[in-house]
Structure 1
């Protein structure tokens, strides 16, 4: 009986040691990939000073934005994920829905854009080639999230108005509702752009802060101040926009959950499996070989 238990412990120990090895070397590469079933909405709100061509002057407005992001699983694969993103910015007046038609009688639509792009499922960097949607511009750098295991360094982050990546500068660590985040800053000052509005060149400025949960690379908060002007200095849009309080709370809760699950499988499981597996092998070997010595004597 002693010998049988010994062999069972040896088998269990070997299994757990192999599990620990796989969880350390193979599992992270499988889990640290953006899932293909992403379908999220992000809510932002703020204020805007917007030029009204009908009045011939700027007006102060309360605004809100809804950004819908979906993964196109059919166009994605093991290494690359294709995204469809639609962002709608409306005047927050009356019982306005998330988005309205351009010809709505109350004229509450500020802008609506749709973008299709691809990124690496681990490093989050833009991917072009066969994944680029017909008619879409080529992108560089990060687009909608940061990589798994984000580092305390600067990253290139795509800016659609600029048509090029801007530098997301790492500026420090900040805790949001108990969650450690890395804070990044993007600053663009009076950059010339080919189209500030359709067919018209202009000047563009952006002052943006992004808070990132580093283990997963997910963005949990964002604040931005954007200015669009004509070349002669005429103001078209002065926009202040940030995640709503409810959105930050939801993003932090989801980031905590995703981080815990990832750490459980990639850190806790390997350590527990290795320790229990090693003890099982040692105890099993003692029972088997001590029994053999006793039989020989």
Structure 2
């Protein structure tokens, strides 16, 4: 019986050790990659002042991954973003261009590396697509405490997204990043020049690179100094709660696959191998030995 149990323990121990090795070497390269089936809606709210009138606004950003255009290395994205006046308290996610409640609407198609999260060229992007750069919609897995290049769609180039501090949101460890530009020359409208200033604060769950909160302040001025737009928005309370909850779950699942399972494999496998070997050794039959009889005197 001991032999049977010992052999079973050795088999189980070997399996656990192999599982530990595989999850250590293979799993991170599989799970630490951006999926190609993402369909995410992010909601922000706040206030806007446009041509001297201040009113509440809703911001809806829909980001979808194009699974057919994406590859093993690259995720292709389509993002639509809409800022709508919510003065009546019942504004839809977006309205058409003829609706006076529309503040702004943008559509962008871009591709990012599934590991580094940095924007990159891709053959499956539509012809004439704007060439994005830097961080666009998420940070890399295992986000570091360093500055990152961050895409500013209004300027059409990256700006420095600076690391500020490590903090917490509802018990979730996050990294706080911040960027700011001031008095950058842009085209306010077709044929109308002006300046643009913006400050963005982003809070990132570092294991997955997910953005769990974003605060944004943007101002636009005509060349004569007249303010055209003053926009101040952040994640809604519901969006923040959802983002934190999802980030906690995703980080826990990532830890389970890349840390907990390998640890169980190595420790549990070593214990099972040791116990199995001991049972086999203890269960070995002892060889019979002849008794030595001392000679008796005559």
- Offset, 1:77: 1.4
Distance 1:157 1:173, change over 3 A: same
In 1: Cα distance, 2:285 partner to 2:229 partner: 86
Q: What are the superposed Cα offsets for residues 9-34 of structure 1, whole Å, 9 maximum, x if unpaired?
A: 11111110010011111101100111
Partner of 2:58: 64
State the Cα distance separating 1:293 from its structure 2 match: 6.3
Cα distance between partner residues in 2 of 1:133 and 1:296: 84
Q: Indicate yes or no: 2:163 matched with 1:144.
A: no
Where does residue 268 of structure 2 map in the other structure? 276
- Contact 2:45–2:57 (CA under 8 A) maintained in structure 1: yes
| CA deviation map 1:70-126 (0-9, x unaligned) | 11100111111111110010001222211111223xx11111111111111121100
8 Å contact from structure 1 (residues 117, 133) kept in 2: no
Distance 2:177 2:115 in 1: 19
User: SS in structure 2 opposite 1:135?
Assistant: coil
Residue of structure 1 aligned with 2:127, choices 106, 109, 134:
134
SS in 1 for 2:115: coil
2:226 to 219, 225, 234: 234
Q: How has the CA–CA distance of structure 1 residues 115 and 294 changed in structure 2, closer, same or farther, with 3 Å as cutoff? A: farther
More deviation, 148-157/280-289:
280-289
Greater per-residue helix proportion: 1
CA distance in 2, matches of 1:111, 1:102: 9
Alpha-carbon distance in structure 2 between the residues aligned to 1:208 and 1:75 = 30
Q: Equivalent residues in 2 for 1:43-122 (5 A)? A: 43-51=43-51, 58-94=52-88, 95-104=90-99, 107-122=100-115
Q: Give secondary structure in 2 for the equivalent of 1:100.
A: coil
User: Conserved in 1, the CA contact under 8 Å of 2:185 and 2:195?
Assistant: yes
- 1:245 corresponds to which residue? 237
**Aligned equivalents of 2:288, 2:157: Cα separation in 1:** 78
Rounded to whole Å, the distance in 2 between the matches of 1:87 and 1:44 is: 11
Match of 1:158 in 2: 151
Equivalent in the alignment of 1:172: 165
- Alignment match, 2:200: 208
After TM superposition, the score normalised by the length of structure 2 is 0.92
Cα distance change of structure 1 residues 126 and 294 upon mapping to structure 2, 3 Å threshold: farther
State whether residues 195 and 221 of structure 2, in contact with CA within 8 Å, keep that contact through their aligned partners in structure 1. yes
1:170-206 deviation digits (Å, cap 9, x = unpaired)? 111221111111000011011123x232343321111
Q: Tell me, yes or no, if structure 1 residue 15 matches structure 2 residue 10.
A: no
Deviation per residue, 1:25-79 (Å, 9 max, x gap): 110110011122211111111111112xxxxxx2112111100111110011111
169-178 or 198-207, which deviates more: 198-207
Distance 1:294 1:122, change over 3 A: farther
SS of residue paired to 2:218: strand
CA contact (8 A) 2:111 2:122 kept: no
- Cα distance between partner residues in 2 of 1:164 and 1:196: 17
Unmatched segments (≥5 aa) in structure 1: 52-57
Decide whether the 8 Å contact of 1:186 with 1:207 is kept in 2.
yes
Distance 2:288 2:181 in 1: 82
Deviation at 1:295, TM superposition (A): 6.0
